[in-house]
Amino acid sequence: MDQVFGESIKFFEFRDEVLSSFAEYGVEYKLFGGAVVQLVNPSRFTEDLDIAIKATVDSAEKFIDSLASIGYADRNNISMQVYGDVEEAGYDMTSTRRIESSNPEWERFHIDLCFDLGEHNYETMLAEDFEVNGLKIMAVTFRHIIRMKANMNKGYGGPRPKDIEDIQFLANYLGLDPSTGESIVEKQEKKRVPSLDLFGGDKK
């Protein structure tokens, strides 16, 4: 338990340093995945930052410069991980890239950089500001996280066990029934919540 707690503290420091560098370099990003759940459930351990940015060269260059400035890895190393083999494929900014750090302090952690996850990308993810340790973080909303996790791995067995746990935790945190998206309080009063269908359009 102490080891897990210690690793969580290291991850929080990693997260804050990376996101602080984004703020300094003007990186427009949205944080999603387990690191968002962790904002309200510190015991939820994760080793990666899921980051969505705009699929433009300007956004990618700011992202690369920000990480290089904190010694995440050599700039050329980061650039290759972000773009892939530019000579063969051009500036390929699709799907997700795992950005590994060469900094020994962060060797256990990494960034999953998202350009496009089908229906989920920087433009479509709903996000809001959080403040953690004086740092403003642009994080995807809990309701949107629930929707993303509920729709993961469609056709491949559905959400992973840890995604189901995240859905249940966030639903409880928001006071929702995870199976229906109803407010538990209003459900007890036999009333529907008009705008809380987490898995589709608005309920009428």
pLDDT at 200: 45
- pLDDT confidence band for 7 (50 / 70 / 90): confident
Is 136:144 a contact under the CB 8 Å cutoff? no
CA 13, 18, 23, 24 torsion-angle sign: positive
CB contact set of 121 (below 8 Å; sequence gap of 6+): 52, 55, 114, 115
> Which of 16-25, 47-56, 78-87, 168-177 tops mean pLDDT?
16-25
Q: How many CB atoms lie within 10 A of CB 9?
A: 11
pLDDT at 68: 98
- What's the average model confidence in pLDDT over 194-200? 43
pLDDT at 151: 83
Name the residue with higher pLDDT: 2 or 58.
58
- What's the average model confidence in pLDDT over 157-173? 91
* Domains of the chain and any CATH numbers: 2-140 (3.30.460), 142-204 (no CATH)
pLDDT of 185 over the 70 cut: no
Between CA 129 and CA 49 the distance in angstroms is 16
Element (H, E) at 132: strand 127-132
pLDDT at 150: 87
Is 62:27 a contact under the CB 8 Å cutoff? yes
pTM: 0.83
Mean pLDDT lowest among 94-98, 158-162, 176-180: 176-180
pLDDT at 159: 86
- pLDDT, tens digit, 9 for 90 and up, residues 9-59: 899 999 999 999 999 999 999 999 999 999 999 889 999 999 999 888 899
Between CA 134 and CA 16 the distance in angstroms is 10
Name the residue with higher pLDDT: 152 or 203.
152
- pLDDT confidence band for 95 (50 / 70 / 90): confident
